[in-house]
Amino acid sequence: MKVKCNRQSLLQALQTIIGVVTQKDIYPILGNVRVSAFDGNLLFKATDLKISLTYSLPVSQFEILEEGELLIAAQKFFNVIKEAPDEEVEVEKNNYDARIICKDGKFVILGEEPDKFPNVPEFQESNFIEIEGKDFQKLIRKTLFSTTTERTRYDLDNILLIISEDSLRFVATDGKRLAICDRPCTGGEGIDVREVTVPCKGLQQIDRVLSTTSPDKVRLGFMENQLLFHTPEVVMSTRLSEAKFPPYQKVIPQGLPYKAFLNVKDFTSALRRVCWFTDEKNKSIELSFTPEKLKLFAMDEGAGEASLEMPVVYEGEAFDIKFNPDFFLDMLKIADSSDVTILLKDFASAALIKEGDDFQYVVLPIKPQVRDH
């Protein structure tokens, strides 16, 4: 094998796959990348056995001088290409080893037999759904933040994907909040699978791919226990979760009589300032709604207290309710609109926040503690 590559394009390929490469000592071979140069294609493959990725370098960015395959340490390969000063680098095979030739030097990376590397799933060009790249990234970012970080809650370290004929829905929860996002898609009528549960790690890797490659459209397919993701440069698969997702429909509150319209920028600023005076162990702020203003209050016995007022358009009776401010701030960070709508009922019931027509967010309040007399 012998190829010439545009260094920047090669670097982007290695940056994309490096997040999938595992550094665990149990399976050292998974720390490698498989490089294949056949039939006018230059492919880079990596897997950790749960997530697999194939990156196809654009044909204008390389020249195959001699066909062949390599299996070499991904991190070392990445480091060499990252620091190379050249616009073009040459990679050639010497037995199982790779020799990287730059203007100012040569680097030899010891390799292994390529056939020892696990097989990586290929995308089947049938029965797939297609969605705008920016829409799929929106689905991930507007739900991923609501998943749990608790290692004991494996059922909540996933996102539920619901496929209909013309739309794709993502649902995520950590047991205290729930995020739902919908975006249009095509091809859903040909998919047998209607609901799958995908681990967060797989979607995090897809989000990185979308950030580095910015495809116009992506395709999703299903094969046995795998979700397959396809763009012009990347084919990625992630193993589906066997955890049963909670019945989220029961959590969405209905019949909320009160409504508040809040400016995202102003509400974010107010929350951040009041948060400086919350107890780190038991974060809580009190929101007091009246027809013309919203009052935010927090108190930390060891630091002081904060009271702040901001204008609000509010329809309903005046009342107070307490929330963990982080739950609001997390949501406001990913807001695309300048305003959000909060639907409320009383101090003990969940609030429903809506942004546009495609995003819903349910937050449980902090209920007052009942003290024994």
Residues 278 and 235 in one domain: no
Give the pTM.
Answer: 0.91
* 37, burial (CB in 10 Å: exposed 0-12, middle 13-18, buried 19+): buried
Tens of pLDDT, residue by residue over 67-100, are 999 999 999 999 999 999 999 999 999 999 999 9
Confidence (pLDDT) at 362: 98
Q: With a cut of 60, say whether residue 152 has pLDDT above it.
A: no
Confidence (pLDDT) at 373: 40
Residues 161 and 87 in one domain: no
Residues 269 and 289 in one domain: yes
Percent of the chain with pLDDT over 90: 81
Q: With a cut of 80, say whether residue 169 has pLDDT above it.
A: yes
Q: Give the residue from 174, 234, 225, 194 showing the smallest Cα distance to 364.
A: 174
| Burial letters 85-94, b for 16+ CB under 10 A, else e | eeebbbbbbe
Q: What is the mean pLDDT of residues 94-112?
A: 94
Q: What is the mean pLDDT of residues 41-58?
A: 95
Task: Quote the number of domains for the chain.
Answer: 3
Residues 9 and 101 in one domain: yes
Residue 69 lies in a domain: yes
Residue 372 lies in a domain: no
Residue 183 lies in a domain: yes
Neighbours of 224 (CB within 10 A): 7
Residues 137 and 244 in one domain: yes
Helices (H), the chain: 7-17, 74-83, 133-141, 200-213, 264-275, 325-333
Tens of pLDDT, residue by residue over 111-135, are 999 999 999 998 987 789 999 999 9
Handedness of CA 255, 260, 263, 267 (dihedral sign): negative
Residues 312 and 219 in one domain: no
Confidence (pLDDT) at 190: 80
Residue 220 lies in a domain: yes
Tens of pLDDT, residue by residue over 306-352, are 999 999 999 999 999 999 999 999 999 999 999 999 999 999 999 99
Residue 177 lies in a domain: yes
Confidence (pLDDT) at 301: 83
Q: What is the mean pLDDT of residues 20-46?
A: 90
Q: How far is CA 321 from CA 291, 347, 350, 354, in A?
A: 15, 5, 10, 18
Percent of the chain with pLDDT over 70: 95
Q: With a cut of 80, say whether residue 22 has pLDDT above it.
A: no
Q: With a cut of 50, say whether residue 209 has pLDDT above it.
A: yes
Residues 213 and 299 in one domain: no
Contacts 24+ apart (CB under 8 A), 27-30: 29/71, 29/112, 29/116, 29/117, 29/118, 30/118
Q: With a cut of 80, say whether residue 151 has pLDDT above it.
A: no
Among candidate residues 249, 270, 288, the one where a domain is terminated: 249
Residues 184 and 87 in one domain: no
CATH number of the domain encompassing residue 82? 3.10.150.10
Q: How far is CA 105 from CA 111, 208, 341, in A?
A: 19, 32, 60
Residues 242 and 152 in one domain: yes
Residues 267 and 317 in one domain: yes
Cα(272)–Cα(108) distance, integer angstroms: 52
Averaged pLDDT score across all residues of the chain: 92
Residues 196 and 146 in one domain: yes
Residue 124 lies in a domain: no
Among candidate residues 249, 265, 287, the one where a domain is terminated: 249
Per the rule left: phi > 0, alpha: psi between -120 and 50, beta: everything else, 175 is left
Contact present, 32 and 114 (Cβ < 8 Å): no
Residues 243 and 133 in one domain: yes
Q: Which domain holds residue 230?
A: 129-249
Among candidate residues 249, 269, 301, the one where a domain is terminated: 249
Residue 19 lies in a domain: yes
SS (H, E, C) 233-284: CEEEEEECCCCCCCCHHHHCCCCCCEEEEEEHHHHHHHHHHHHCCCCCCCCC
Residue 123 lies in a domain: no
